[in-house]
Amino acid sequence: MIRQLKANDQEVCLQLVKQQPAENLFIIGDVEAFGMETDFQKVWGEFDEQNELIAVLLKYQENYIPYAKSSFDSAGFAEIMNNDPYFKAMSGLKSVTEQIEPHLRPYQSKRQTYYAKGSSLNGFKVNTDVTEIATVADAQNLLAFLKEIPEFKNSVPQTVEKKQRDIERGFSRAVLVKSNEEIVASAPQLQKIRLLQ
């Protein structure tokens, strides 16, 4: 059975997705930052016969992120996405998204991406004298900088107002390097505890 998750489902949702924290970083971050239901975010879950949560589908803006450890009602998740007139993109583990794709109406594009997971710094030191944490005032320049990167050009659809809101709430954190007040490098700032859980 698939149903929309509410605030009282948040802990069980996080327990499921935190079994693979690096792979579910976006789901974890979105749920921790914004909860289970806002005007731009919703979460659905599939429960088995024992009422155990076995799959999660998060909608953030126009993007959907599904997660399941094994088989799930992929047609049911696809129906939710197909019924959303604002649906533009799906991201997530290939083993999960491939189960949904045959049931989806055509959507914007498909591209395979990869991630790297670091487990230690092995004595690596960062020179923090040239870095600064992004503030709300940096939002417009940071978006413009990210859109100049070919790999990010089509995946940075957010508005300056949304970026400002995300920075203000602490959801979006970035470390910047500037030269003459112009951003020349940027990296996401992640909370160590979230990566190690």
- For 76, the domain range is 2-103
Shared domain for 95 and 136, answered yes or no, is: no
SS3 at position 140: helix
pLDDT tens digit string along 137-157? 999 998 888 888 776 666 665
Under DSSP, the state recorded for 180 is T
Tokens for 95, please give them.
Answer: 């083993």
Shared domain for 14 and 85, answered yes or no, is: yes
Shared domain for 84 and 149, answered yes or no, is: no
Shared domain for 97 and 21, answered yes or no, is: yes
Q: How far apart are CA 171 and CA 147, in angstroms?
A: 20
Q: How far apart are CA 131 and CA 94, in angstroms?
A: 35
Contacts of 139 (CB under 8 A, 6+ apart): 160, 163, 164, 167
Shared domain for 83 and 151, answered yes or no, is: no
Shared domain for 189 and 135, answered yes or no, is: yes
Pair 186, 176: CB distance under 8 Å: yes
Q: What is the pTM of this model?
A: 0.69
Shared domain for 11 and 50, answered yes or no, is: yes
- Give mean pLDDT, residues 39-43: 94
Count of domains for the chain: 2
pLDDT tens digit string along 89-120? 899 999 999 999 999 987 655 666 666 666 66
Task: Tell me if 110 is assigned to some domain.
Answer: no
Shared domain for 79 and 33, answered yes or no, is: yes
Task: Name the band, by pLDDT with cuts 50, 70 and 90, for residue 193.
Answer: very low
Pair 53, 80: CB distance under 8 Å: no
